[in-house]
Amino acid sequence: MNHDVFITCAVTGAGDTTSRHPKVPVTPGQIADAAIEAARAGAAIAHIHVRDPKTGKGARAPSLYREVVERIRASGVDVVINLTAGMGGDVVFGSGEEPLPLNPAGTDMVGPSERLAHVAELRPEICTLDCGTMNFALGDYVMTNTPSTLRAMAARVRELGVRPELEVFDTGHLVFVKELIKERLVDDPAMIQLCLGIPYGAPDDPLTLMSLVHQLPPGAVFSAFSIGRHQLPYVAMAAIAGGNVRVGLEDNLYLDRGVLASNGELVERAVAILTNMGARVLGPAEVRQKLKLRRVN
């Protein structure tokens, strides 16, 4: 078991959740406030997507990220900022016998430089790197990250002095993580996020989790989470497996059965679970030291 645990709060995501929960933050101000709320509740890291303020859908405009980051940095609340770099790798095929042309409504494919434009501008301490391609949820959407794209992104992130959070959704993604480390595209310690329970990636049963944990590269610092109703049980599961924790409205909307949550409430519940297990929750300064982050704000 890990007795010194840090909590990441994924405050909004890019999925179609805004119609199901009024507290899912949409505007830059709301997203920044959610990150600040999570930090005050005990999260050391805020994982941030941005959304189009008019539609509520996932976006990647650097100006939106800039407003969120500037608001957080100006707040005086200490939190490690972790910006997604997953946007811009979305392919939605046409249905049935006509997969082409691609569906323009959901397809958004750009190159490594454009996917990292906000990271290069804002220099967060952490950004994500989704380490593979997979069918993602229902329909014809494919989360698309080719090896050459990922290698280019990893090299650029390293050049910027930003720590990549290596997102692993299935076992093959962990194989690629090891290749990035072998090729010295990722500095020590490797920061790995095990993402379970997401169709059609690794299931969130304990045997699958431990199988992934046993395949982690030496010296890696890892977190693990599941989505939906298994998010909070996975707070305990991740710590028992030796890892760190992620909660937040990106992955789960409920605090209890039928009770909608806020990001702060989910973090508070995670803190309670961990402390009742005898674990200590780390603050941002300790996380920076543990991950050897280069602080810019």
pLDDT in tens, 18-68: 989 999 999 999 999 999 999 999 999 999 999 999 999 999 999 999 999
Nearest to 13, CA basis, from 233, 254, 227:
227
- Decide if pLDDT at 90 tops 80: yes
Confirm whether 296 is domain-assigned.
no
- Give the domain extent around 31: 4-291
Unique residue bearing structure tokens 């430089």:
113
Confirm whether 69 is domain-assigned.
yes
pLDDT band at 295 (very low <50, low <70, confident <90, very high): low
pLDDT for residue 105: 87
Q: Is the dihedral of CA 72, 74, 75, 78 positive or negative?
A: positive
Q: Could you report the per-residue pLDDT of 91-140, keeping only the tens digit for each?
A: 999 988 999 999 998 899 999 999 999 999 999 999 999 999 999 877 89
For strand 58-59 and strand 50-51, is the pairing parallel, antiparallel, or unpaired?
antiparallel
How many structural domains comprise the chain?
Answer: 1
Q: How many whole angstroms separate alpha carbon 28 and alpha carbon 256? A: 27
Task: Return the bridge partners of 281, or none.
Answer: 5
CATH code assigned at 212: 3.20.20.70
Find out whether 34 and 25 touch, Cβ atoms under 8 Å: yes
Task: Return the bridge partners of 223, or none.
Answer: 193, 244
| Integer CA distances (angstroms), 175 to 170, 257, 274, in order | 9, 37, 30
Confirm whether 179 is domain-assigned.
yes
Find out whether 258 and 17 touch, Cβ atoms under 8 Å: no
Find out whether 270 and 38 touch, Cβ atoms under 8 Å: no
Confirm whether 89 is domain-assigned.
yes
Confirm whether 178 is domain-assigned.
yes
Confirm whether 297 is domain-assigned.
no
pLDDT for residue 230: 96
Confirm whether 80 is domain-assigned.
yes
Q: How many whole angstroms separate alpha carbon 203 and alpha carbon 224? A: 12
How many helical (H) and strand (E) elements, i.e. helices and strands, does the chain have? 10, 18
Q: How many whole angstroms separate alpha carbon 261 and alpha carbon 255? A: 5
Confirm whether 52 is domain-assigned.
yes
